[in-house]
Amino acid sequence: MTTEVVRAAEGVVRHESFTVGAEPPRVFVHIGADPVVVELVEGSHQAEVHVALDSTIDGTGHYGRFVRAVREAALGADADSEEGLRCHLLSSTEITYSSFDRQLVVRSPQRGAVRFGTVAITVRVSAGSDLVVRGDVVTLDTVGIAGSVRVKACRGEIHVVSASSFDLRLRRGSALVDTVHGAVAADLRAASLNVADLGGDADVVSSSGAVALTLRPEGAVDLSLGTGGEVDLSGLPPVVESADGGPVWEQHGGGAAARRVSVTSGSGDVRLSRGGL
Amino acid sequence: MKFEAIVKDLIEEFQTSSSATMSDGPSGRSTDALVATGTELVMQVVAQVAESVERVRAGSDTSFAPGPEAAEKPAPDRSTSEIEALVRRVVNQTRGLASQDRSDLVRQLARPDLLLSDRGRASQSADTVRGRVEL
Contacts A–B by Cβ distance under 8 A: 117
Q: What is the pLDDT of residues A7-59, one digit of tens each?
A: 888 888 999 999 998 899 999 999 999 999 999 999 999 999 999 999 888 87
Predicted confidence (pLDDT) at residue B27 exceeds the cutoff of 80:
no
Q: What angle do CA A259, A260, A262 make, to 5 degrees?
A: 155
Residues 174-213 (A) with a CB less than 8 A from some CB of B? 185, 187, 203, 205, 207
Tell me which chain A residues have a C-beta less than 8 angstroms from the C-beta of B111. 185, 203, 205
pLDDT at residue number B17: 55
Average pLDDT over residues A165-187: 96
Predicted confidence (pLDDT) at residue B135 exceeds the cutoff of 70:
yes
Question: Please, which contacts does B41-45 make with residues 24 or more away whose CB atoms are closer than 8 Å?
Answer: B41/B6, B41/B9, B41/B10, B41/B13, B42/B10, B42/B90, B42/B91, B42/B94, B44/B6, B45/B3, B45/B6, B45/B7, B45/B10, B45/B90
d(CA A207, CA A3): 29
Contact A49, A16 (CB under 8 A): yes
Nearest CA-CA partner of B50 in B84, B75, B77, B78: B84
pLDDT at residue number B15: 59
d(CA A62, CA A44): 49
Instruction: Compare A183 and B126 and report the one with higher pLDDT.
Output: A183
Q: Which amino acid is at A106?
A: V
- What phi and psi values does residue A19 have, to the nearest 5 degrees? -85, 120
Q: Do A226 and B114 touch (CB under 8 A)?
A: no
Bridge partners of residue B33, in order along the sequence: none
Bridge partners of residue A141, in order along the sequence: A37, A159
Task: State whether residue B112 sits within 8 Å of chain A by CB.
Answer: no
A204 to chain B: closest CA residue? B120
ipTM of model over 0.85: no
Instruction: Compare A155 and A75 and report the one with higher pLDDT.
Output: A155
- Share above pLDDT 90 across residues of chain A, in percent, rounded to a whole number: 64
Q: Which helix (H) or strand (E) holds A232?
A: strand A231-235
